[in-house]
């Protein structure tokens, strides 16, 4: 379990493509400082398990086919920047919201509107998860806990498989301390909706 408060920006330093999986080596001195085999680390919103710690500043993870298919991790290559967060401790403050690190799908950055104090970023999202996103609700974008500041529909639809979009307002801290400050129009981002919404829907279906 995570909170969506990114601790540092890491870098992919090696990739190994396998038949139906991948092994990544990621440099992140802060999150690696107390990491051990079996620990969970959020890598741009994807919960991955530490396989090996290398030289005290890097760690390796194995990524299975399901994760490669559902998230943008499969597109990462050597040199790519990623958001890193260690699993939350029970005695720590919950600065963001409850994040599982289970990506529901990917969205696409369709616009960025800068201002003096923040950037408004619009993201197209798949129809399969649009119903879980509400204005002023929480959403995780590439592992960053954010508040939905706006919702809307494309007229006509401008993104394949997406009818809806949402907006988030990024403050200077988020822009400088996460990869969202670097995400250009057209970038693919990992999305995780609030798990409570999915549980409520499931309970109503079982009604």
What fold is seen in the domain 8-86? Elongation Factor Tu (Ef-tu); domain 3 (2.40.30)
- Residue 108 has a pLDDT of 94
CA 67 to chain centre: 12
DSSP-derived secondary structure for 34-82: T--TT-EEEETTEEEEEEEEETTTEEEEEEEHHHHHHSGGGG--TT-EE
Per-residue pLDDT tens over the stretch 174-194: 999 999 999 999 999 999 998
By C-alpha distance, which of 28, 132, 12 is closest to 75? Answer: 12
- Strands 81-86 and 40-43, by their bridges, are antiparallel
Q: Where are the domains of the chain?
A: 8-86, 105-206
Per-residue pLDDT tens over the stretch 8-53: 999 999 999 888 899 999 999 999 999 999 999 999 999 999 999 9
Per-residue pLDDT tens over the stretch 150-164: 999 887 656 666 789
- Residue 160 has a pLDDT of 67
Residue 129 host element (H or E): helix 127-130
> How many percent of the chain have pLDDT more than 90?
76
Q: Domain 105-206 - what CATH class?
A: mainly beta
Per-residue pLDDT tens over the stretch 70-124: 999 988 999 999 999 999 988 877 888 889 999 999 999 999 999 888 999 999 9
| pTM (two decimals) | 0.92
Is the fold of 8-86 the same as that of 105-206? yes
By C-alpha distance, which of 198, 179, 199, 197 is closest to 72? Answer: 179
């Amino acid at each position: 379990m995570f909170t969506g408060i990114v601790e540092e920006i890491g870098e992919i330093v090696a990739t190994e493509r396998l038949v139906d999986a991948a092994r990544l080596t990621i440099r992140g001195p802060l999150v690696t400082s107390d990491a051990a085999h079996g620990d969970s680390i959020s890598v741009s919103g994807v919960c991955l398990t530490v396989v090996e710690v290398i030289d005290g500043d890097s760690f390796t993870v194995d990524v299975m086919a399901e994760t490669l298919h559902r998230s943008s991790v499969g597109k990462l290559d050597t040199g790519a920047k990623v958001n890193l967060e260690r699993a939350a401790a029970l005695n720590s403050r919950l600065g963001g919201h409850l994040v599982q690190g289970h990506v529901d799908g990917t969205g696409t950055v369709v616009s960025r509107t800068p201002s003096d104090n923040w950037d408004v970023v619009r993201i197209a999202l798949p129809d399969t998860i649009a119903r879980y996103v509400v204005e002023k609700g929480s959403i995780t974008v590439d592992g960053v806990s954010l508040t939905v500041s706006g919702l809307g529909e494309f007229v006509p639809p401008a993104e394949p498989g997406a009818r809806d979009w949402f907006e988030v307002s990024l403050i200077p801290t988020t822009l400088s301390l996460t990869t969202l400050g670097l995400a250009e129009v057209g970038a693919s981002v990992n999305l995780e909706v609030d798990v409570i919404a999915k549980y409520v829907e499931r309970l109503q279906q079982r009604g």
